[in-house]
Amino acid sequence: QVQLVESGGGLVQAGGSLRLSCAASGRTFSTYAIGWFRQAPGKEREFVAAISWSGGNTYYADSVKGRFTISRDNAKNTVYLQMNSLKPEDTAVYYCAASIKYPSGVATGTSGYGYWGQGTQVTVSS
């Protein structure tokens, strides 16, 4: 079992930055990958970024590549999503998820993740 809690969302102007955190508990943190997904109103949940169990491999959606950075601190059981140069189209609820099945972090679909947090709202104003 894995429990995930996101934090760090909020309202920011376009061009600004936010850092999201995903705090995990339960199963040994360094045995699974973590992914970030987002869901805007009326849209399907989409992949944003993922990081392997060791932090050695990272993956990004094309829409955020070069602007967002995912990292993890296994000593703190926490994964971070640093979001820079935010755009209004980044507005969504952001979720972190744990993948025990794909610890290398390659899963970009929601079906690859078995545990989800409750989400945190990110709103980017123009």
5-32: pLDDT as tens digits: 999 999 999 999 999 999 999 999 999 9
Beta strands in 40-77 (DSSP E): 46-51, 58-60, 68-73
Question: Measured between alpha carbons, how far is residue 104 from residues 7, 53, 109, 121 in Å?
Answer: 24, 6, 14, 27
The list of the chain residues with pLDDT below 50 reads: none
Predicted pLDDT of residue 35: 97
Strands 10-13 and 120-125: parallel
Predicted pLDDT of residue 105: 82
